[in-house]
Structure 1
């Protein structure tokens, strides 16, 4: 008797400006699904695999002018390809849910809009080397002043992008909302400027809808 193929898992990404709370919400969703007995892989970009984490350290630390926009694009694409091959694709093929803090939409924003008019190159490289979009993208929307204040308050080592200021955050917010309008089938916008539990409940409703 032929074996029934395992159902493919859902690939969920979280996007938003720095300090929006998306990382917290990604973790909360992963913990809830794991508590229900699901296999969940919680990961992040840039990073998520050994090679990609090495590239993350190169890109996110140091002076904000360390890399050109074109070099950043190539580095992020290399990291994403390794992440896809070693983590995302194997997990979803066996039926696990993958929850990723940032994915290609962040590259479309940071390198495609804020760091140079490279959106066409971003999409071309994505089509050639990645070739996959999430099943569901949660955009945690947040006023840029609030998000930047939260991000700078973390006082972490990876402050290269946060140091670019509130103007960048505003461009990112506008850009993410434009992407949500461009890809309405997979994007769901959640108001991040409300209590954590309210945000969590909104996100879970969107996840359940995508899963059904």
Structure 2
């Protein structure tokens, strides 16, 4: 898929231990808008490459034709259900590619995955579905997803996140303070329920965030 970004190996890479070098692994970065997911996930992929791994950095929505439809729905869809199902369809295609990379022994680093749908669409659909929302979203996604080895939740106060977003061009409909507060609360619940989650304070300098994430993969 065109969503792949292959991180080139460093010529001065040092190998990981044999235990970590034996198979592909899957790492996901989640968090509210403004938490630094894209920057941190890319830098994380670069660090893994520097220690000898064959790394793919990828993201959702993907850069495929299906991801294009997700972005269009984000701008134009009147039905929250239609938009949600496009996110799921994009993930179904993406997961097939992720599975292939993992079977090849590559390490996959993903900027957003199923947690984003559970948190963001969990807020969007609640006014339509009430308390059944999360159960429905999990049921729709469960047949198509792969459980990450680690899901790094970059935790950031929504007010600080909004201050980071003030200068961003093309801000979307999700980047509103009240909405982000609700998404943040759902992410906290997901982190409590899913053992793959590790929470990192995203208000720290990027290098400190990266250091903490790197320690959590071993």
TM-score range normalised by the length of the shorter chain: 0.7 to 0.9
Counterparts of 2:160 and 2:200, CA distance in 1 = 15
1:161 counterpart = 2:161: no
Whole-angstrom distance in 2 between the partners of 1:73 and 1:179? 18
Please point out which of 47, 57, 63 is paired with 2:62: 47
> Residue 24 of structure 2 aligns with which residue?
9
Distance in 2 (alpha carbons) for counterparts of 1:115 and 1:23:
25
| Number of aligned residues | 193
Alignment partner for residue 73 of structure 1, among 84, 90, 101?
Answer: 84
Corresponding position of 1:99: 109
- The reply on whether 1:125 has 2:140 as its aligned counterpart is yes
Q: Does the CA-based 8 Å contact 1:7-1:94 persist in structure 2?
A: no
Instruction: Report the equivalent of 1:3.
Output: none
Picking from 166, 190, 214, the partner of 1:204 is 214
Alignment partner, residue 10 of structure 2: none
Q: Is the 8 A contact 2:114 2:145 kept in 1?
A: no
* In 2, Cα distance between equivalents of 1:72 and 1:107: 10
1:33 aligns with 2:44: no
In the aligned structure 2, how far is the partner of 1:113 from the partner of 1:7? 39
- Does the CA contact (< 8 Å) of 1:114 and 1:172 recur in 2? no
Task: Give, in angstroms, the shift of residue 69 of structure 1.
Answer: 2.3
Q: List runs of 5+ in structure 2 lacking aligned partners.
A: 1-20
Matched, 1:143 2:157: yes
Question: How much does 1:36 deviate?
Answer: 2.2
RMSD: 1.8
Structure 1, gaps ≥5 residues long: 1-5
SS at match of 2:110: strand
- Structure 1 segments, 4+ long, off by >3 Å, are none
Which one has more relative contact order, counting CA pairs under 8 Å at least 6 apart? 1
Equivalents in 2 of 1:122, 1:89: separation in Å?
A: 21
Change (3 A) 1:24 1:131: closer
